[in-house]
Amino acid sequence: MAESNGASNFIRDIVLADRAAGKHGGRVVTRFPPEPNGHLHIGHAKSICLNFGLAQDAPGGICHLRFDDTNPTTEDPAYVRSIQEDVRWLGFDWGDKMFFASDYFERLYSFAEGLIRKGKAYVDSLTADEMRSYRGTLTEPGKNSPYRNRSVEENLDLFRRMKAGEFPDGAHVLRAKIDMASPNINLRDPALYRIRHATHYRTGSAWCIYPGYDFAHPLSDAIEGITHSICTLEFEDHRPLYDWVVAESESPHRPQQIEFARLNIGQAVMSKRKLLELVEKKLVTGWDDPRLPTLKGLRRRGYTPEAIRAFCEHIGVAKRDAVVEMQLLEHFIREDLNKRSQRVMGVLKPLKVVIDNYPEGASEELDAVNNPEDPSAGTRKVPFARTLYIEHDDFLEDPPKQFFRLAPGREVRLRYAYIVKCVSVARDPRTGRIIELRCTYDPETRSGAPQAQRKVKATIHWVSAAHAVKGEVRLYNSLLKTDLAKVPPDQDWTTYLNPQSLEVVSGCQVEPSLGEARPGERFQFERLGYFCADPDSRPGAPVFNRTVSLKDAWSRMDKGSAGK
């Protein structure tokens, strides 16, 4: 199971204090309670890391995986499988503690009848619209429903008949009898059960009434002996109701609800509703589109669970609304991949180079370091020959002062190979486009040779034309042109999608070993970034997703002077 480094936060402090005080017998039991109606995203990862992390920190602590499946109309077993897969991938283990709120339906129903017997719940027969108007507003108190004083017998009878399926959807609802004048709207007789003639993916047609969140959640926590029930800020108002339900259930367990601020990331789509919209309108390729902050998307993009966990640990846990910059997430994946990824050379936009003084038909194998950060990763051989491809961006016919790379008459080192000098430029007579460079090489400067020490301003990557494998590279940019928080609510947010979020580069030339790259394998393409082989790869025709670029001092300078 993933380790946690124990960065302090206010929730950890509460748990620590509770343990020290012997509250809950010193035990720590948390839960991660997703509704199986969507796929997990990085925001869920924050909650997962928090809940599982808290449990790991405590001796004997445990974190349950509980599916909060109380709404049959939106839930699907495919999501249950997906969520389990993603939590495991992130590096957490719930052991045998996987539960479903739907498994508690029978007990929840009994609790509800108990509430009715105590006169703490009643069947209301107002329509949804009527109920809304009876509820009052933020500033005016609500009014009691005319059905509020039904007798216990009548309520019991009606509730049982609701369960038996005698009424259509919406005909009645079971409500808690609390206080229609409460300044907290959640306490104005909240709905506990609604009629829904729908097939539930787990209980089938056994039920036609389903408990709501405010009833099922606290009770599920109590049933499971949850000690700390951690949720997001919007449920803060529900806490009095949560406590009311637990107290009325007379459960010996009194879980404590604690709220924290959900994760927001600038220029990322994080809401379930919007993610669904993107997928359904086919504005992205699917839930695993690498532009999405879903766990599946991040995985396909090449993110590691370790990087995501490190990110979640470092963003902290607090109560103030916050928007974390995407650069922070990128920092953690770079940091992780820098240490562990194999270096390779790949040319995205090839420019042909012929080494005039290199013997025709000859070739040699040069030693390349697999990972300068990890000597144990060893070396590999890369083939060198007379005709090469270099990155088109590494050549400029009329270079500005700051440009260190190849230009007419200039020298650069070819990584792991020789120093070459550009002697001429060939262009397409029709389009004027540069199609080929002629260079000469200095045989004395082969990497590792005594004369190789000669300094040149730059080292560039390359591949041998005869040996290279053709591949496709997918470059990703922000899916959004702006932070969603800045988009006026009356506007269609999808008009802010970045048309350049995906750039497919075909005709890339990569070093031979990459022809057989397996989906999910990660590499650093030297000088370019980290790349991950996509499932669309075929033998001899690899496809790579750019996880994140390397930091690039030149592109920053280039942009900085673009206005001049």
Partner RNA sequence: UGGGGGAUCGUCUAGCGGUAGGACGCCAGCCUUUGGAGCUGGCUACCUAGGUUCGAUUCCUAGUCCCCCAGCCA
Active-site amino acid positions? 35, 262, 272
For RNA, the closer of residues 289 and 508 by Cβ is 508
Q: Considering the complex, what minimum distance in angstroms separates the CB of residue 323 from RNA?
A: 4
For RNA, the closer of residues 214 and 289 by Cβ is 214
Compute the C-alpha angle 439/444/450, nearest 5°.
Answer: 145
Q: Considering the complex, what minimum distance in angstroms separates the CB of residue 331 from RNA?
A: 4
Instruction: Give the separation between CA 522 and CA 517, rounded to whole angstroms.
Output: 9
For RNA, the closer of residues 190 and 305 by Cβ is 190
109 near 158, Cβ under 8 Å? no
In this structure, the number of other CB atoms found within 10 A of the CB of residue 503 comes to 12
Instruction: Give the separation between CA 561 and CA 564, rounded to whole angstroms.
Output: 5
Q: Considering the complex, what minimum distance in angstroms separates the CB of residue 440 from RNA?
A: 17
DSSP letters spanning 457-521: S-EE-EEETTT-EEEEEEEE--SBSS-GGGS-TTS-GGGGB-TTSEEEEEEEEE-GGGGGPPTT-
Instruction: Give the separation between CA 377 and CA 368, rounded to whole angstroms.
Output: 11
For RNA, the closer of residues 46 and 386 by Cβ is 46
Among 416, 419, 501, which Cα is nearest to 463's? 416
In this structure, the number of other CB atoms found within 10 A of the CB of residue 249 comes to 21
Spatial CB neighbours of 413, under 8 Å, sequence gap ≥ 6: 419, 420, 445, 456, 458, 459, 460
Query: What is the β-pairing status of strands 462-464 and 469-476?
Result: unpaired
Q: Considering the complex, what minimum distance in angstroms separates the CB of residue 540 from RNA?
A: 25
Full 3-state SS string of 23-46: HHHHCCEEEECCCCCCCCEHHHHH
Spatial CB neighbours of 268, under 8 Å, sequence gap ≥ 6: 42, 293, 326, 478, 479, 480
Instruction: Give the separation between CA 214 and CA 175, rounded to whole angstroms.
Output: 11
Q: Considering the complex, what minimum distance in angstroms separates the CB of residue 428 from RNA?
A: 25
Instruction: Give the separation between CA 307 and CA 314, rounded to whole angstroms.
Output: 11
For RNA, the closer of residues 173 and 479 by Cβ is 173
For RNA, the closer of residues 116 and 289 by Cβ is 116
Residue type, 502: L
Q: Considering the complex, what minimum distance in angstroms separates the CB of residue 406 from RNA?
A: 10
Look at phi and psi of residue 500 and say left if phi exceeds 0, alpha if psi is from -120 to 50, else beta.
Answer: alpha
For RNA, the closer of residues 98 and 328 by Cβ is 328
Q: Considering the complex, what minimum distance in angstroms separates the CB of residue 515 from RNA?
A: 21
230 near 258, Cβ under 8 Å? yes
Among 482, 468, 353, which Cα is nearest to 418's? 353
Task: Provide the residue count of the chain.
Answer: 564
- Indicate the SS3 state at residue 449: coil
**Measured over all CA atoms, what is the biggest interatomic distance in the chain, rounded to whole angstroms?**
102
For RNA, the closer of residues 289 and 446 by Cβ is 446
- CA–chain centroid gap for 271, Å, is 11
Q: Considering the complex, what minimum distance in angstroms separates the CB of residue 298 from RNA?
A: 17
For RNA, the closer of residues 71 and 289 by Cβ is 71
For RNA, the closer of residues 185 and 247 by Cβ is 185
Q: Considering the complex, what minimum distance in angstroms separates the CB of residue 290 from RNA?
A: 20
Q: Considering the complex, what minimum distance in angstroms separates the CB of residue 341 from RNA?
A: 9
Q: Residues 91-106, buried b or exposed e (16+ Cβ, 10 A)?
A: bbebeeeebbbbbbbe
